[in-house]
């Protein structure tokens, strides 16, 4: 995921991640998300995770049903600007992998 934070929202975004919504980590685990990392460079946010399930779309749809995830999005999404390279994207674009070295 690649995103851009709104002006003045960097500190709030970092604080949110220092104290995530109760149950959020469990939701990620139950939907086969592991090794989730988020990096910040200026106002750009890059996140990386590994998916260990066998139906990504179904697990992401299940994620959206959890109250903990809904609360998290209600708190974190307002920190983001709509990303200019994909103006029709609902939230932030999923970026394409072009190289992998195991």
Extract the tokens encoding 7: 């002006």
With tokens 């959206």, the residue in question is 64
- The domains located in the chain, with CATH, are 2-79 (3.30.70.1090)
The dihedral over CA atoms of 75, 81, 83, 89, expressed in degrees to the nearest 10, equals: 50
Quick one: 39 exposed, middle or buried, by C-beta within 10 A (0-12, 13-18, 19+)?
Answer: exposed
Longest dimension (CA), the chain: 39
Whole-angstrom Cα distance, residue 81 to residue 13? Answer: 12
pTM of the model: 0.83
Q: What is the pLDDT of residues 14-49, one digit of tens each?
A: 999 999 999 999 999 999 999 999 999 999 999 999
Residue 89 has a pLDDT of 61
Q: Collapsing DSSP states into helix, strand and coil, what is residue 43?
A: coil
CB atoms inside a 10 Å sphere around CB 87: 7
Per the model's pLDDT, the better-predicted residue between 13 and 84 turns out to be 13
């Amino acid at each position: 995921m690649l995103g851009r934070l709104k002006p003045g929202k960097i500190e709030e975004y970092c604080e949110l991640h220092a104290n995530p919504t109760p149950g959020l980590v469990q939701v990620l685990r139950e939907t086969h998300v592991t090794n989730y990392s988020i990096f910040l460079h200026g106002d750009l946010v890059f996140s990386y995770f590994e998916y260990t399930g066998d139906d990504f779309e179904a697990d992401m749809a299940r994620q959206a049903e959890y109250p903990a995830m809904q609360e998290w999005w209600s708190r974190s999404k307002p920190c983001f600007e709509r990303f200019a390279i994909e103006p029709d994207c609902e939230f932030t674009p999923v970026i394409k992998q072009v190289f992998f070295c195991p």
